[in-house]
Amino acid sequence: MTYLRRALKYFIQMTLLVAIIIGALMMTGYVSKDISVAFQHGWTSIWWILGIFTVMALAYPFFGYQKRQIRVNGDPALAKPGIVEALKGRGYALKSDTDGVLKFQLTSPVNRFFRFWEDTITLTPNLSGWEAEGLSRDLVRVVSSIEYYFRNNGKD
């Protein structure tokens, strides 16, 4: 279900962005307001574009979300305050802590809007440290921030 929700949100995001750009071009007169003039094959082109967006949206959750390992030695309960502090510096706040699984969310409403509220980073303790799951572009920054925090505070 999460996969389909993410794909649908990405489809809507792409469609709105392209519609806004084409609408702005039509309103400013750079492109004809007549669809059959603006697009080579008229409405058929619109359906092809929506079909391509559908394929891209269905592929995006496979590539846009991932899991990564975070190497933090010691008891996960002792690492929790450091993780919260490291993510606070990245603009995340602790949303929930259930059975040791930490869920963080962006604090900025603007950033949350541009990610279509798919901004949750989930940290699950495991034998080698923590496993982080979330949006790929955010996950790289989050993992490096946590590792940097523990490396510089001598807790690693």
**Is it the case that residue 155 has pLDDT exceeding 50?**
no
Domain final residue pick, 63, 81, 115: 63
Q: What is the pLDDT of residues 44-73, one digit of tens each?
A: 999 999 999 999 999 988 888 888 888 877
81 plus 148 within the same structural domain: yes
- In sequence order, the β-bridge partners of residue 134 are 66
92 plus 147 within the same structural domain: yes
Q: What is the pLDDT of residues 65-95, one digit of tens each?
A: 888 888 877 777 788 888 888 888 888 999 9
17 plus 88 within the same structural domain: no
Taking the alpha carbons of 77, 79, 85, 88 in that order, is the dihedral positive or negative?
Answer: negative
Rounded Cα–Cα distance for residues 87 and 122 (Å): 12
Sheet containing 121-126: give its strands across: 65-70, 129-135, 121-126, 101-106, 92-98
119 compared with 53, residue with greater pLDDT: 53
92 plus 46 within the same structural domain: no
101 plus 139 within the same structural domain: yes
Counting the structural domains of the chain, the total is 2
95 plus 148 within the same structural domain: yes
Rounded Cα–Cα distance for residues 115 and 107 (Å): 12
Question: Please, are residues 116 and 13 in contact by the beta-carbon 8 Å criterion?
Answer: yes
Structural domain boundaries, residue 25: 2-63
